[in-house]
Structure 1
Amino acid sequence: MSPHPGTRSAISPRLVVLGALLASYAWALVFPLRLARPPSPLSTTAYVVGLALFAVALTLVLRSAVSPKQSVRSRRLLVGVLGVVTVGLWLPAYAWAEAGQEPWAWMAGFAVGAGVLADRLAGMATAVVLVAGAVAGALAFDGSVVANLGIVVGTAVVVWLTGLVLVWLLGLVWAAEAGRQAEAGLVLAQERLRVSRELHDVLGHRLGIIALKAELAAELAAEDPARSAAESNEIRALAASTLAEARSAVHGETVADLATQLASAELVLGSAGIRTDVAVEVERVPLDRSRLLAAVVREAVSNILKHSDARTVSIRFETAGPCATLVIVNDGLRTSASVEPGTGLASLAARCADAGARLVAGRAGAEYEVRVELTPR
């Protein structure tokens, strides 16, 4: 696992841990080299080549221990190869060992520790074979069985615990990096949601107005060309302002003002021939709730224009004790399907809930009502 793009560390934590493991396991080569005396230059060369193969196999096993994406099968294969190479050094290590020394037992202990660290099942199987080899070596070359067993088991436990601590620390680093990536992803998702919500608020409302005015301009083209031209100019101005607001929404610069939104609602609904009664004292609306209520008014007006046959609309702001309520009612229900809140209102309801408010929309007798209840903070 690597850090999130843009925050990549100069040195990978995995490489640091692998380097620490290799440093601690370097004694697996020091003891066999110092505690054995091959009888000739040729045997020395062969012995060194064997130890080099052992070092490569040991490195690959330790590398797999810090590679979480490596398959279990490949890990077990590498542990098996390490066991085979270690067994291959059994005869020369015991035959050329200095008096009273057990170089092969040291190799076996490091091999068992690395094997169990990489894969517990394969490591334990390798441990059984190598422990048996240590006992056989002691018996065949007049060594101490207890000493051989103590070296193999003691070394294996010490290096395994050391490696386990290092791998555990690496896991903590990976978990921290995953947490940072998750946090970055959450911030990105929230920003996308914000842009989507802002664009819906801006485009959904303004495009509805543009469509209404375009229809009106088309109807007036033959009867009243001057007024039709005026409506066309308003459409052009609305399109320009909508584009500007959409750009501002993308950059997080949108500013919603309840007073402006109420004035816009009266103008738009009036242009559509809908009588609008606004009873809202804007100064009584808390400043921190003004933007939220402006979004509710904009969404409600857009829905009235698109989904109703309203002739009258009432917008009022009521206070009762510490609570306050914005209520938008229209008399233009069409069918039972039209009383179900759409995705815009559903998104707005979630936004209200995040702000500590409650939005309810639905049939109220023969009318349709959007109600926002503001609870005190």
Structure 2
Amino acid sequence: MTILSLTMGLVLAWISPLAELADEDGQFRLSLLTVGVPGLVIFSVLYLRILKAAVDGTAARGELAASAVVAVALLLTQDGGPWSWGLLGPAWASGAVLVLNRSAAIVTTAAAIAVGLLLAPPGAGSGPWGAEVFAIPYEESSLPTLGAYLGMAAGASWANRFQLWFWRVVTAAEEGREAQARLAVTEERLRFSRDLHDLVGHSLSAIAVKSEVAAKLSGVDAARAAGEMDEVRALARQALREIRTAVRGYRTVDLDAELRAMTAVLEAGGIRCTLETPRDQVPEGTATLLAWVVREGTTNVLRHSSATGCRITITLREGGVVLEMTNDGVTGVAGRGGTGLIGLSERVAAIGGTITAGPGGPGEFRLRAMVPLEGES
């Protein structure tokens, strides 16, 4: 799609020759059919290769040189003024500036315009794009027409260059958002692994050491070996309690803190976030479950959409709590979520709640969770 939007040069190259295929008597121009059209086909192929190289960020020196030779050959063999075959110069420049630096692009544009005017000077030929279009004959004054030609030639080239630059900016922004999403997931994994290591690392190391001591003493001093194993058992139980505490702390998430954290993550990704929460406190068990829903919903927004806005609403109703997350930037929305939402749906369904995920408004995705207050454990 990006390459298609950069084909302005091809339009300039083809528009006048196509209008000149037949002369005033309706006869096809032999020179145009045998040389002009085949030459333009070759020029077009080379031009598209230049565009592809520009989008891919690679060099296209061979294509630039070959297309320049073809353009000059067509200008030398075909009869026309600057608004006819003379447009080949700006057409070539509109592709060349995409693979050159700024200084080289300026020089190239000026040179291409000069070559176009030199080989297809004002007054040459009688093509449909002559000075009469501006109602000012060349012999009276060529300055207005020349100024229009120069403006169009320079504008076409640099409009192409600006469009490519804008596309690269949008691509870089999208890659940045994806990197932020990956970073958020990685930081969460590191936090949990760090907490788990700090809590149980010492106990597991002590268990390993005492087990080795007990193994060495088993054939020498059974009583001491038994004592060591008693300590191993105590350490194992302590480690088990610490692991359960860690997992419970990880699974029991503060809803308000999670909402603030996920809002910060979304806004860091360039997504405007609107948050609406009830004044009354949500019960702890229900709040933990909703916090997991918010976390999973945020991950889906970052990974599976190009959202610019997200709205999170939590409403306390009689007998239950309803959470809704709605984001834009979605096309081809499916009516089901991924494995994370499936797992959450099973947990919510176990206490009589429901989770639905699917299209909201046009281009929107809506995640809705309803958790009954009487179902919390």
The TM-score with structure 2 as length reference comes to 0.49
The TM-score with structure 1 as length reference comes to 0.49
